[in-house]
């Protein structure tokens, strides 16, 4: 294996860990032959799982620690637990260039704080942004910021536009990034002073990485006319939680309608292929893997409640950001 990608993994974070993490690694490793995994966590729990899920010995390094960050820990208390937790050690390995990226399904606040304590910001970027993939009618959208920054200024949103576009190019090299600002209306006069200032900056300048498309309203996010959607963390997080809640509601109500009556059951049998395609379109596990942009190394946040398939998809996103040279693209285009 020549120059394999090495992903550092906090195996102890999130629900049902380390079981889902090791199973997720096994799923991902079966599809990606030149990736190795640096696993941090309790060897007494992890070693039996490695055997259970048939993870090949030449694909991983296991670094034992019985200390880990709890889900209920605050970011500060997690950092005060010291440098021997699985999360800290995983991030530190990235700092030491012993890995190319880190993935954790653990405590979001702790991941952000410990990452910022260990890793540098990219030059000329003031704030990191949490980004994720959302499905649309025409493919995939990158949406950011999803909660890393409650308050932003116009420079931050311009930076987010560049970082989000770089992420889209890293993940989908044939796509042309088209940026829009999430706003309460599509008219140029709508919105607060900060969003209007950002509009003017993006509209008045040429950016080689992306095309600026103006404003977009929340009900048009899934249309696919733009593929990079930018907001402050407060607005973006509300949009994310609303989309997740709506998706879960639709899936649960559809399942109920198709399983409670004989006609519904018959309909589900006759339309099985279409229904499976519909469910997959809304399945959050298939889009799992949020990226903390702005740091000089890739930091990937897997959803804490996801399962092994979702964790495997976060590893897939992680691998694509490395192969697509995400950090290099941001550094080339930020100024």
Q: What is the mean pLDDT of residues 295-307?
A: 93
What domains can be seen in the chain, in order of their start residue?
1-125+294-324 (3.40.718.10), 126-291 (3.40.718.10)
Alpha carbons 243 and 262: distance in angstroms, whole number: 31
| pLDDT tens for each residue of 119-148 | 999 999 999 999 998 888 888 899 999 988
Alpha carbons 196 and 190: distance in angstroms, whole number: 8
Please tell me the predicted confidence (pLDDT) of residue 200.
Answer: 94
Alpha carbons 274 and 14: distance in angstroms, whole number: 32
- 113 burial (CB, 10 Å; 0-12 / 13-18 / 19+) is middle
pLDDT at position 24 over 90: yes
> Cis ω on the peptide bond leading into residue 145 (within 30° of 0)?
yes
Give CA 204 to chain center in angstroms: 30
Alpha carbons 2 and 302: distance in angstroms, whole number: 28
The pLDDT-based confidence of 1 (bands split at 50, 70, 90) is: very low
**Contact indicator for 162, 293 with CB cutoff of 8 Å:** no
Beta bridge partners of 178: 211
Please tell me the predicted confidence (pLDDT) of residue 121.
Answer: 94
| pLDDT tens for each residue of 235-282 | 888 888 887 777 778 767 777 766 776 665 666 555 656 556 655 666
The pLDDT-based confidence of 72 (bands split at 50, 70, 90) is: confident
- 293 burial (CB, 10 Å; 0-12 / 13-18 / 19+) is buried
Mean pLDDT over all residues of the chain? 88
Rounded to the nearest 10°, the torsion over CA 153, 142, 127, 185 is 10
| pLDDT tens for each residue of 138-195 | 888 999 999 888 889 999 999 999 999 999 999 998 899 999 999 988 777 788 899 9
């Amino acid at each position: 294996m020549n120059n394999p990608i090495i992903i550092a993994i906090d195996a102890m974070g999130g629900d049902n860990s380390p079981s889902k993490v090791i199973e997720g690694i096994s799923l991902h490793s079966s599809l990606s032959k030149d990736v190795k995994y640096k696993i941090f966590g309790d060897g007494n729990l992890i070693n039996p799982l490695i055997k259970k899920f048939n993870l090949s010995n030449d694909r991983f390094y296991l670094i034992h620690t019985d200390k880990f960050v709890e889900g209920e820990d605050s970011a500060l208390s997690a950092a005060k637990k010291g440098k021997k937790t699985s999360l800290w050690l995983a991030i530190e390995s990235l700092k030491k260039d012993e890995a190319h990226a880190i993935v954790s399904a653990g405590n979001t606040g702790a991941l952000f704080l410990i990452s910022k304590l260990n890793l540098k910001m990219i030059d000329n970027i003031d704030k990191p942004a949490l980004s994720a993939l959302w499905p649309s009618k025409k493919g995939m959208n990158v949406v950011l910021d999803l909660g890393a920054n409650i308050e932003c200024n116009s420079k931050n949103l311009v930076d987010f536009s560049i970082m989000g576009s770089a992420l889209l190019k890293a993940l989908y090299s044939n796509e042309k990034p088209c940026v829009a600002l999430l706003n309460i209306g599509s008219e140029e006069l709508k919105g607060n002073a900060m969003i209007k200032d950002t509009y003017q900056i993006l509209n008045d300048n040429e950016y080689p990485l992306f095309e600026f498309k103006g404003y977009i309203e929340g009900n048009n996010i899934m249309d696919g006319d733009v593929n990079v959607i930018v907001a402050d963390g407060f607005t973006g997080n509300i949009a994310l939680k609303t989309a997740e809640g709506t998706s879960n509601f639709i899936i649960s109500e559809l399942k109920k309608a198709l399983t409670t009556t004989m006609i519904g059951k018959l309909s589900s049998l006759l339309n099985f292929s279409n229904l499976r395609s519909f469910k997959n379109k809304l399945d959050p596990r298939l889009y799992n893997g949020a990226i903390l942009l702005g740091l000089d190394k890739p930091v990937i946040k897997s959803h804490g409640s996801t399962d092994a398939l979702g964790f495997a998809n976060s590893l897939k996103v992680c691998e694509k950001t490395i192969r697509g040279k995400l950090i290099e693209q941001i550094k080339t285009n930020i100024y």
